[in-house]
């Protein structure tokens, strides 16, 4: 198995993109990614795209063929594959692309992610997202997606003393980071009081604890590390691409306040890379809800179980802190076009590791980690990359 690197990356502005269709977003990000490298269209031998629910949002399936076509690659008959793991579809696409190049089967592969969520009303979007949970045995009994994370939050607060203010601090930090990220959906500061006064969604989670409905797309271009210098001055090496599954329904988990899929994917990733959590300089983690970031930093090994709550409040996860988390603004502020998030995370790490992250740059960043979760933990992807 040979080493793989990212030779180009692009990401659209995330937000409510009324003027742009799913196809428009795909084209926009594809062009950005390719212009970031000197690869030509003819050299692309594979496409992977993460998209959770083209069918529910824009009544379109067969997304693999769609993006190859939009990219003008259908005449070259490039193999194109859509993968789906709910909110981890992007991370899954990245891993599949890595495996294709690492195995020697393909040389230059694009991993993209796209979601167009605003062509339907909020109620329909919420129902489409609920398909990430267990439809038969969670949603049918009245569960919503936020409700599942709310139950994790409730138990985390009960067991470890995590407070409402600590959850709010995660949202405040991520909004602060988003202000420094040109592609972020939200570019405004918020306060803990504002979070605490926002309407309840599923107690204890409030509107400002929850990531928004977003349109967006992102793409990265992969090549074997040994050839990367031909295409890029600053290739980023992928040290690990790990994935794990767990039960679909929250009630079937071994431990409700731990996402075992994250723990196992992280363990495998650190083993593949020959590294430990302490070696990581920054991480993009899956904060679909504020509690998600708290649980993630515990599961990934950046904090002890139960201690994750303090991290944002005490500044440990701020840009200048011990382990900067979600410098992009995370899912909360940057936005969460479901299938695209995993690739956006990779894009942020690429910018940071190249030293191109502007005001939100983590000084001397060398090792970055991306953590992408499907549903409330049925799937987890962990990628580690380095300069």
| Contact set for another protein, span 156-185 (CB under 8 A) | 158
Interface with another protein in residues 42-101 (CB under 8 A) = none
- Is 147 a binder of another protein (CB under 8 A)? yes
CB of 158 to another protein, least distance (A): 5
Is 251 a binder of another protein (CB under 8 A)?
Answer: yes
117 touches another protein by CB under 8 A: no
Q: Does 155 engage in binding with another protein (CB under 8 A)?
A: yes
What is the total count of residues that contact another protein (CB under 8 A)? 37
Query: Does position 261 bind another protein by CB under 8 A?
Result: no
SS3 281: coil
229 is catalytic: no
- Nearest distance, CB of residue 126 and another protein, angstroms: 5
Is 254 one of the binding residues for another protein (CB under 8 A)?
A: no
Gap between the Cα atoms of 26 and 216, Å rounded: 8
Write down the catalytic residue from 156, 264, 286, 336: 336
Contact 48, 222 (CB under 8 A): no
CB 205 to another protein: min, Å: 8
By C-beta, is 132 or 228 nearer to another protein? Answer: 132
Binding segment for another protein (CB under 8 A), chosen from 39-47, 123-131, 166-174, 355-363, is 123-131
Task: Give the chain's length.
Answer: 387
- CB 42, min distance to another protein, A: 46
Residue 20 CA to residue 29 CA, distance in Å, equals 12
Decide: 270 and 277 in contact? Cβ < 8 Å: yes
Residue span binding another protein (CB under 8 A) among the ranges 80-88, 91-99, 128-136, 347-355: 128-136
Query: Which of 45, 69, 107, 127 touches another protein (CB under 8 A)?
Result: 127
Burial degree of 104 (CB within 10 A; 0-12, 13-18, 19+): exposed
User: What is the rounded CA–CA span in Å between residue 309 and residue 295?
Assistant: 8
- Is 126 in contact with 83 (CB distance < 8 Å)? no
Torsion of CA 43, 46, 48, 49, to 10 degrees: 60
Catalytic residue among 11, 70, 87, 376: 87
Closest CA to 211 of 129, 314, 305, 139: 129
Q: Which of 10, 204, 212, 329 binds another protein (CB under 8 A)?
A: 204
Cα within 13 Å of Cα(211), Cβ side: 33
Decide whether 124 or 188 has the Cβ nearer to another protein. 124
Shortest distance in whole angstroms from residue 289 CB to another protein: 11
Q: With 0-12 CB in 10 A as exposed, 13-18 as middle and 19+ as buried, what is 239? A: buried
87 noted as active-site residue: yes
Should residue 292 be labelled a site residue for another protein when binding is judged by CB under 8 A? no
Strand order from edge to edge, sheet including 4-11: 80-83, 46-50, 109-115, 216-224, 4-11, 236-245, 379-386, 367-374, 282-284
Residue 132 as a binder of another protein (CB under 8 A): the answer is: no
- Residue from 2, 103, 137, 356 touching another protein (CB under 8 A): that is 137
* Shortest Å, Cβ 201 to another protein: 5
Closest contact distance (angstroms) between CB of 180 and another protein is 30
Of the candidates 71, 47, 74, 51, the one whose C-alpha atom is nearest the C-alpha of residue 61 is 51
Residue 370 interacts with another protein (CB under 8 A): yes or no: no
Binding site for another protein (CB under 8 A): 123-124, 126-127, 130, 134-144, 146-147, 150-155, 158, 199-205, 249-252, 256
Q: Which residues have a catalytic role annotated?
A: 87, 336
């Amino acid at each position: 198995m040979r080493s793989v690197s990212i030779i180009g990356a692009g990401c659209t502005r995330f937000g409510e993109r009324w003027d742009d269709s799913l196809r428009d977003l795909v084209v926009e990000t594809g062009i950005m990614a390719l212009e970031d490298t000197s690869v030509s269209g003819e050299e692309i031998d594979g496409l992977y795209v993460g998209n959770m629910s083209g069918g529910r949002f824009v009544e379109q399936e067969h997304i693999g063929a769609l993006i190859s076509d939009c990219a003008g690659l259908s005449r070259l008959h490039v193999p194109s594959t859509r993968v789906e793991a709910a909110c981890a579809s992007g991370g899954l696409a990245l891993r599949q692309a890595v495996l294709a190049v690492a195995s020697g089967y393909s040389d230059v592969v694009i991993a993209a992610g796209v979601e167009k969520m605003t062509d339907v009303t909020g109620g329909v979007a919420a129902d489409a997202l609920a398909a990430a949970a267990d439809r038969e045995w969670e949603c049918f009994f009245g569960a919503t997606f936020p409700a599942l994370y709310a139950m994790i939050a409730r138990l985390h607060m009960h067991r470890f003393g995590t407070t409402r203010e600590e959850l709010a601090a995660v949202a405040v930090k991520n909004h602060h980071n988003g202000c420094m990220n040109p592609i972020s959906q939200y570019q405004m500061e918020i306060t803990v009081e504002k979070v605490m006064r926002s309407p309840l969604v599923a107690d204890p989670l409030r509107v400002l604890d929850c990531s928004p409905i977003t349109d967006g797309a992102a793409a990265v271009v992969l090549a074997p590390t040994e050839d990367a210098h031909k295409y890029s001055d600053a290739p980023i090496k992928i040290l690990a691409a790990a994935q794990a599954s767990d039960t679909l329904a929250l009630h079937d988990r071994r431990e409700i306040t731990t996402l075992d899929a994250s723990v196992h994917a992280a363990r495998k990733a650190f083993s593949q890379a020959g590294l430990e959590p302490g070696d990581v300089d920054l991480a993009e983690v899956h904060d679909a809800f504020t509690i998600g970031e708290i649980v993630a930093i515990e599961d990934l090994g950046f904090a002890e179980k139960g201690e994750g709550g303090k991290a944002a409040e005490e500044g440990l996860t701020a840009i200048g802190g011990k382990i900067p988390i979600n410098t992009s603004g995370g899912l909360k502020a940057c936005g969460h076009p479901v299938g695209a998030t995993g690739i956006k995370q990779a894009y942020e790490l690429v910018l940071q590791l190249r030293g191109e992250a502007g005001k939100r740059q983590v000084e001397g960043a060398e090792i970055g980690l991306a953590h992408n979760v499907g549903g409330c933990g049925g799937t987890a992807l962990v990628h580690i990359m380095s300069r």
